[in-house]
Amino acid sequence: MKRCLVMQHVAFEDLGTFAPVLEEKGFAIRYCPVDEPPTEEEWLAADLAVVLGGAIGVYDQVLYPFLKDEKDLIRKRLESQKPLLGICLGAQLIASVLKSRVYPGKGKEIGWGGVELTEAGRKSPLRFLDGYRPVLHWHGDTFDLPEGAELLASTPVTPHQAFRMGNHVLALQFHPEVDADKLERWFVGHACELARAAIDPRRLRDETKRAGESAKETGQALLREWIDQW
């Protein structure tokens, strides 16, 4: 059986609707919380490595020293040229390892909305998001596009929403993996962030009811096609 190792920063941010697709593709999934990191050998041996989101910044290494070791593992994974998926903080960490600047964006981008695909994006697995199909945005930081990376998607607030390096590295600032049925955990877990940004969870809850099922379909289609391209 193939193995998928997942770096997880907070318990309620998991693979969501991506998990059934990975199981369908024959992957055994193992989560690695920040206090239980994989060994370098395990990380490099995995058929797929995933780095999920979290409410800290790439530049917070003094406050969260584990980020240094995490970036070292990402660097070695990139060097191996084996499949690597980064979502939100995971995408920012990949960009940072690729020597791009990660920094606070124009403002918090939290809520459901589409992305504008580039020409390359429309020829990539992100093509399922064409037509402004809804995805969940939940971030305040952004990054410069790494040298040699192919920009796939943008929004007015965040010009660099997604990039890839060949077919084996995919970095997504937004959350196509999110399970709408479990978003109440996010609303509670990120309650302080929502309050500081003056975002009413009732609005997010209403948006989720309208967008959740469509987002699940497009997110799962995106992941299936990306895996099939390796």
Q: What is the pLDDT of residues 75-100, one digit of tens each?
A: 999 999 999 999 999 999 999 999 99
**Phi-psi label, residue 111: left if phi above 0, alpha if psi -120 to 50, beta otherwise:** left
Is-catalytic flag, 190?
A: no
What is the predicted pLDDT for the residue at 60? 96
Q: What is the residue range of 171's domain?
A: 2-228
What is the predicted pLDDT for the residue at 151? 98
Catalytic residue among 9, 137, 175, 190: 175
- What token pair was written down for 17? 């609707």
Cα separation, 220 vs 224, in Å, equals 6
Confidence of residue 192 (pLDDT cuts 50, 70, 90): very high
**Portion of the chain with pLDDT greater than 70, in percent:** 100
Is-catalytic flag, 168?
A: no
**Per-residue burial over 101-132, b = 16 or more CB atoms within 10 Å of its CB, e = otherwise:** ebeebeebbbebbbbebbeebeebbbbbbeee
The CATH number of residue 72's host domain is 3.40.50.880
Q: What is the DSSP letter of 146?
A: P
DSSP string, 152-203: EEE-SS-S--EEEETTTEEEESSBTT--GGGHHHHHHHTHHHHHHTT--HHH
Q: What is the mean pLDDT of residues 98-106?
A: 97
- Asked whether the beta carbons of 180 and 211 are under 8 A apart, the reply is yes
Q: What is the mean pLDDT of residues 40-60?
A: 97
Global pTM reads 0.97
Cα angle for residues 64, 70, 73 (degrees, 5° grid): 165
Place of tokens 């040298």: 147
Cα separation, 46 vs 138, in Å, equals 28
Total domains present in the chain: 1
Catalytic residue among 88, 137, 160, 168: 88
Catalytic residue among 13, 70, 109, 177: 177
108-167 pLDDT tens trace: 999 999 999 999 999 999 999 999 999 999 999 999 999 999 999 999 999 999 999 999
